Amino acid sequence: MREKVAVIGAGTIGTAVALALKKSGNEVIATRRKKEKISFLEDEGIKVCSDNRTAILSSEIVLISLKPVDAVNELKKFADELRGKIIISLAAALPIDLIKKILSNSYAARAMTNIAARVGGGFTVYCFENRFPEGYKERVRELLSSFGKIEEVEEKYMDALTALSGSGPAYILTVIESMMYAGLKVGLPRDLALRASYETVLGSAKLVGESGDHPSILKELVITPAGVTIDAIYELEDSGIRTAFIRAIESATKKSEKITREIMEKFKD
């Protein structure tokens, strides 16, 4: 279904999703205050403006890709214009309850995607407000599917998923970069080292996804007795790679929970 969609706050993630939505055949209008910074979107057939009101009025579905505090302020400012529309908030740490407090007459969904949406490889988790009309849910799912894979989740998991999959590309890109540097250290040409690193990450992820096997089982297929891999695994375990990831994602989850609490406190009245 071709939808009229507004993307409010076309920065890093807003630009990525605007392009994905357009590529899937939707009519898209994107906003940011410095609209000259997104004029390149016009070459892709996306309308661009700095006036949120115009964008909201010309659309049936409104995606909010602003920072959480900006999102609350804009939702408050345009509550009348948003009446009866479907709102999909991509803002981290912004609970549906708060959105509904501001927009009691709109239909609210909350989603967390990631930057891989830029190439259709995003993982987007989402949830709906309790009274979200059943008949509209498929429209939201279809739009979010243009970013990549989607999964409906309970809202209580959103902070953890923000930390795991929302921020996740930053961790995996660090892994790819580290593997590439390792390739350089052992004498590989730069391009080959980078390709070998990202293709290995891509292929390993595909192996987990398509086999349905636990990573630890698949890992055993590579680690042979007294072979090459066990030497590398020994070094990785010795440097605490698993606890580093666990600590990192736990810490990011706590940060997201803290921002959620602060937002709720700031806008409690």
Ligand X SMILES: NC(=O)c1ccc[n+]([C@@H]2O[C@H](COP(=O)([O-])OP(=O)(O)OC[C@H]3O[C@@H](n4cnc5c(N)ncnc54)[C@H](OP(=O)(O)O)[C@@H]3O)[C@@H](O)[C@H]2O)c1
Q: Which of 53, 37, 46, 43 is nearest to 17 (CA)?
A: 46
Count Cα atoms within 13 angstroms, Cβ side, for 113: 32
d(CA 187, CA 29): 48
CB-nearer residue toward ligand X: 26 or 65: 65
Site pattern 147..186 for ligand X (x: CB under 6 A): -------------------x--------------------
Under the binding rule (CB under 6 A), the answer on residue 14 touching ligand X is yes
**Interacting span for ligand X (CB under 6 A) from 86-94, 145-153, 215-223, 238-246:** 86-94
Q: How far is the CB of 91 from ligand X (least distance, A)?
A: 4
* Identity of the residue numbered 17: V
Judged by CB under 6 A, the stretch of 7-15, 80-88, 175-183, 247-255 that binds ligand X is 7-15
How many residues sit in the footprint of ligand X (CB under 6 A)?
26
CB-wise, 11 or 121, nearer to ligand X?
A: 11
Three-class SS state of 27: strand
Of the residues 3, 5, 7, 9, which one makes contact with ligand X according to CB under 6 A: 9
188 is an interface residue for ligand X by CB under 6 A: no
Among 74, 82, 99, 159, binds ligand X (CB under 6 A): 74
- Site residues for ligand X, 22-41, by CB under 6 A, read 31-34, 37
Q: How far is CA 101 from CA 44, 104, 139, in A?
A: 36, 6, 23
Of 63, 169, 153, 50, residue with least CA distance to 106: 63
List the Cα angle 178/183/187 in 5-degree steps: 145
Question: Of 156 and 185, which has the nearer Cβ to ligand X?
Answer: 156
> Which of 121, 227, 213, 225 is CA-nearest to residue 172?
121
Question: Counting contacts by CB under 6 A, is residue 68 touching ligand X?
Answer: yes
Min dist CB 161 to ligand X, Å, is 10
Helix ranges (H only) for 163-189 are 168-185
Supply the minimum distance, in Å, between the C-beta of residue 99 and ligand X. 13
Nearest-approach distance from CB 165 to ligand X, in angstroms: 9
In this structure, what token pair is assigned to residue 242?
């698993």
List the structure tokens of 61: 């579905």
Q: Does 12 bind ligand X (CB under 6 A)?
A: yes
252, 162 in Cβ contact below 8 A?
yes
Instruction: Give the interface with ligand X as residue ranges (CB under 6 A).
Output: 8-9, 11-14, 31-34, 37, 52, 65-68, 70, 74, 90-92, 112-115, 166
